Structure 1
Amino acid sequence: MAKIACVIVTYNRKQLLGEALESALNQEAAPETIFVIDNASTDGTEGYINQRFDFDNQRLHYVRCAQNLGGSAGFATGMRLALQTDCDWISISDDDALFEPGYFKAMRAGIADHPQQQVFSGSVLLPDGTHDMMHRELITNPATLTVKPVSEATYAQDFMYDIFSFVGVLMSRQVVEDIGLPEQDYFIRFDDFEYAVRALKYGRFMNLSAAKVLHKTTYTRASIAPWKEYYVMRNRIALLLKHRGANRVTRWYCRRFLARKLLAILLFRNRWGQARPLIKAYVTGYRDGWHARLGRQLAFLPS
């Protein structure tokens, strides 16, 4: 049977992390190894989960990072550790992703039924039961890597798609060894998108309708935080230039992306009060993305 290592990255959400760990450990066909990567949480995560779970056995491992280098570095750390085991597959998720019963059983069935497939995922559900469709997307313009979400109706069966998020994705060891680790200098945002673009060399990804993940997120596309918007702008431009180069089409797209973000400040009343920091985030992110100035930026960190 294929061996699965599960990587869960967390930051300051100890109770959600506890739920996520329970959901993985209580599976009928649970992962052989689970790595918890803590991005230097300050809410007592380490003590909380060490009291609740047995980290002395070889199945469950807790790693606390010296500082918060973002989700991208957390995933890279966990996947690097997973590769040091004898796993055949690596499961990747955040601390707010809860594996529904039967998730890993469905994944193992998918591996057996589709031996040539190298990347699988499960359907991501919101607490209200609808699909969180931003996690499974189709490329509509290969030149600019423009995407659209898979439609709600598509989730009724297994389907193929082009771009995943790091919520409930399962990758073969072969793919990870070949394409390398996520871009840990992205800090947050678009690290999973960029990784999916690299993984596409092995073919499109398969979403299994029988595998479901409950995403207990409070994030919506209407949520705006200037420090996060900096990484949205910077990393979107950086990944496009990395994979498509600075040609006429990508130059046009990058300028249009910046213009649309700036225009949105005028169009949405809830952004007027943050106009100045948003403009700074977008303009600085545009410049840094264009010149591939990556990494954790002190001017754009959680307050």
Structure 2
Amino acid sequence: MTPSPERPARRAATKKATDVTTTFDPQSATIAVVTYNRSALLTRLLESIERMDPRPGHVVIVDNASSDDTTEVVEGFRSRLGSEIVYQRLDENTGGSGGFSEGMRLAYELGSEWIWLMDDDVEVLPDGLAAMGRWTPRFQSIQGRRYDYDGSEFYWQYRVSVPLGIPIPFAPAGFDESGYREMNSGCFEGMFIHRDIVRRIGLPDPRFFIYWDDTVYGYLASIITRSAIVDEFVLQRTREIRQWDMGTRHLNASSDMYRYYIMRNRGIMKHYYAAHGDYRPVRFAIGTAATFAKEIIRLAAVERRVTRKGWGNLWRGMRDGWRLAHDKAFEVMPALEEA
């Protein structure tokens, strides 16, 4: 699909119209959490929300069919948070993608002006909501910063090469006096987004299951509004992940399931880029090859094992991704309402 000559001007005009919002009201915000069999981590997160000042109006918890005591943990916090809890236990594990799609839907239907997404393996810093709120007059898609498990600064690759469909690893880590950098990606571990953007781009696509879902959602947001990562530390990871430390950058350990979806979901990503005139077949294929190579490096350098199963999941994911990319019946997620 070739973009029409008027597309860039239309995008620019749309962004200008959505850059200014009203005064931030913490009660208008909802924290939406996705959890799965990690009640101890969820407890730490809910305790951190209890310590927040200010707190959000609602806390939505989407439980991906946990088999532990997650339900009992949630019930124990109902009278403690000072925020209304909405708890939704799903009948099956829909992955992070399905969980965040459901969490976004519930938060939107509550009438939330701002929706703050996060996994269960983080804590919110006490002034986190206030820090994010300071940026709401300027942006409608915002990403705060987070500390890693050991207290070090976590670097998130906030810029994506759209033609390649991969993060840009050398995007600057530092901030200038403006206190923000424009981004064209997203991360569901901390995405802070206005309901108007959600209305116009629709819910996150649950078909991803895991991986690339937030990258694509952030890309969609950046098409219609200026998106920014801001120099505000608002979260801290509470789960240690084995990683290869490369200084500012790092490479986390993964799993065979992740390896499959990293490759498979590029087929879904292709459809979203094509729908917005940004799909370039040759360059996207190069990005897919680079993704495959990165996963081999991850196996060798971080997990120190290149197994037949690891290879097999990568190849199987690439095969299924090719099939998805060529599925003519595939449709991207619709807007929630007519703009």
TM-score range, shorter-chain basis? 0.7 to 0.9
Select which of 192, 198, 211 maps to 1:176: 198
Q: Corresponding residue for 2:269?
A: 239
How far the C-alpha of 1:240 sits from its partner, in A, is 3.6
Q: Corresponding residue for 1:148?
A: 168
Deviates more, 1:186-195 or 1:42-51: 42-51
How far the C-alpha of 1:264 sits from its partner, in A, is 6.4
Once the two structures are superposed, residues 17-71 of structure 1 have per-residue CA deviations (whole angstroms, 9 ceiling, x without a partner) of: 1121222233212111110101111121111332344399971111111111101
Question: Letter of the aligned partner of 2:196 in structure 1?
Answer: Q
Q: Percent identity?
A: 25
Asked whether the equivalents of residues 208 and 268 of structure 2 are also in contact (C-alpha less than 8 Å), the reply is no
Distance change in 2, residues 1:56/1:159 (3 Å): closer
How far the C-alpha of 1:153 sits from its partner, in A, is 2.9
How far the C-alpha of 1:241 sits from its partner, in A, is 5.0
Asked whether the equivalents of residues 107 and 211 of structure 1 are also in contact (C-alpha less than 8 Å), the reply is no
How far the C-alpha of 1:208 sits from its partner, in A, is 2.9
Structure 2 gaps, min length 5: 1-23, 244-250, 326-339
Q: How many residues align?
A: 286
Deviates more, 1:245-254 or 1:86-95: 245-254
Q: Corresponding residue for 2:159?
A: 138
Q: Corresponding residue for 2:16?
A: none
How far the C-alpha of 1:103 sits from its partner, in A, is 0.8
* SS of aligned partner of 2:196: helix
Structure-2 separation of matches of 1:68 and 1:231: 15
Instruction: Determine which structure has the larger helix proportion and give its number.
Output: 1
Q: Corresponding residue for 2:104?
A: 79
Structure 1 gaps, min length 5: 294-303
Structure-2 separation of matches of 1:29 and 1:256: 43
Distance change in 2, residues 1:155/1:164 (3 Å): farther
How far the C-alpha of 1:206 sits from its partner, in A, is 2.1
* SS of aligned partner of 1:154: coil
Deviates more, 1:244-253 or 1:57-66: 244-253
Normalised by the length of structure 1, the TM-score is 0.84
How far the C-alpha of 1:79 sits from its partner, in A, is 0.8
Distance change in 2, residues 1:233/1:26 (3 Å): same
* SS of aligned partner of 2:228: strand
Structure-1 separation of matches of 2:219 and 2:75: 37
Asked whether the equivalents of residues 133 and 151 of structure 1 are also in contact (C-alpha less than 8 Å), the reply is no
Once the two structures are superposed, residues 131-183 of structure 1 have per-residue CA deviations (whole angstroms, 9 ceiling, x without a partner) of: 2213x4223x3311332355443388333222221111210100001101111
Structure-1 separation of matches of 2:297 and 2:146: 31
Once the two structures are superposed, residues 176-222 of structure 1 have per-residue CA deviations (whole angstroms, 9 ceiling, x without a partner) of: 01101111011111111111111111234223323421112323434
Distance change in 2, residues 1:186/1:58 (3 Å): same
CA RMSD of aligned residues (A): 2.6
Select which of 31, 49, 72 maps to 1:24: 49
Structure-2 separation of matches of 1:44 and 1:92: 22
Q: Corresponding residue for 2:311?
A: 279
What does 1:82-97 correspond to in 2, within 5 Å? 82-97=107-122
Q: Corresponding residue for 2:94?
A: 69
Structure-2 separation of matches of 1:91 and 1:216: 18
Structure-1 separation of matches of 2:43 and 2:29: 20
Structure-1 separation of matches of 2:176 and 2:35: 28
Q: Corresponding residue for 1:249?
A: 283
